[in-house]
Amino acid sequence: MTNSDTVTELDKTLGELDLTGRLRLIAETGQPAIFTTSLGIEDQVITEAIATAGLDIRIITLDTGRLFPETEALITETETRYNIRIERFRPETAAVDDYVKNYGRNGFYESVEARHACCQVRKLEPLARALDGAAYWITGLRRGQSGNRATTPYAEADAARGLTKVNPLADWSLEDIRAHVDRNAIPINPLHARGYPSIGCEPCTRAIKPGEPERAGRWWWENDAKRECGLHVAKAAS
């Protein structure tokens, strides 16, 4: 059996399970599994499921140094609420200093290249460190978040990073997520109620208007139809 057969089978099996079943299946492989959370509403649903079931999955966040204060407060609140530790991965100080010297602290507004360089320093390099040695990378991606994510599978090979990416909320709608949060009184970022369905770094996220796509508030000044930070695109293309 080839590796792609294995991932295809895993994708099929995950599709037949509920959220906790999906996460438990990965945790019980006995191989290192890492969940990266940006503390968005989807990620809070996954964190609650991992914590409630006591699953052996590390929970990691990328503390870019440019997060909203509301997001930073939610990290602490979530740790206290579920008695868990959310590991913070931060950018290298020297790399941030170099970026500021070359582009300016907010140089990302000036060009796509400058924006990608900032995401590389503050997100991608810390992510690579966070995922080092992982066999499974669990994310909160959903098909309904944007056109780029419309075909998100439950499991996919990430050949560049040498792991299997697992998206246990791939088939959940935003309505499903909100109902689950209400039912389980899961703490969420207060910014969601102020028009931010998708929350990233403070200077790169704005509230959206009614009818706009969920991720329209991310890097809103760019016209590119594929506005992603590089976390969830093939490494070679980022």
Contact residues toward ligand SF4 (CB under 6 A) are: 64, 66, 108, 115, 118-119, 122-123, 200-201, 203-204, 229
Q: Tell me whether residue 49 or residue 201 sits nearer to ligand SF4 (CB atom).
A: 201
Is 130 annotated in some ligand binding site? no
Among 217, 214, 117, residue whose Cα is nearest residue 173: 214
Q: Tell me whether residue 142 or residue 218 sits nearer to ligand SF4 (CB atom).
A: 218
What residue type is assigned to position 59 of the chain?
I
In a 13 Å sphere around the CA of 222, the CA atoms on its Cβ side amount to 22
Is 107 annotated in some ligand binding site? no
Q: Tell me whether residue 46 or residue 201 sits nearer to ligand SF4 (CB atom).
A: 201
**Residue in 121, 124, 170, 229 annotated catalytic:** 229
Q: Tell me whether residue 120 or residue 164 sits nearer to ligand SF4 (CB atom).
A: 120
15 an active-site residue?
Answer: no
Name the residue with tokens 């959903």. Answer: 142
Is 134 annotated in some ligand binding site? no
Residue number of the CB closest to ligand SF4 reads 201
DSSP 32-61: -EEEE----HHHHHHHHHHHHHT-S-EEEE
Query: Would you say 70 and 77 are in contact if contact means Cβ atoms under 8 Å apart?
Result: no
Torsion angle of the four alpha carbons 50, 56, 57, 59, in this order, in degrees rounded to the nearest 10: 70
In this structure, the strands spanning 136-138 and 87-89 are unpaired
Q: Which two tokens stand for residue 22?
A: 């999906």
For residues 166-198, one letter each, b for 16 or more C-beta atoms within 10 angstroms of the residue's C-beta and e for the rest, the string is bbbbbebeeeebeebbeeeebbbbebbeeebbb
Torsion angle of the four alpha carbons 123, 79, 41, 235, in this order, in degrees rounded to the nearest 10: 20
Minimum separation from the CB atom of position 233 to ligand SF4 (A):
13
Minimum separation from the CB atom of position 10 to ligand SF4 (A):
31
Is 34 annotated in some ligand binding site? no
Minimum separation from the CB atom of position 46 to ligand SF4 (A):
21
Minimum separation from the CB atom of position 199 to ligand SF4 (A):
11
Q: Which residues are catalytic?
A: 229
List residues forming the annotated binding site for [4Fe-4S] cluster. Answer: 118-119, 201, 204
Annotated binding site: 118-119, 201, 204
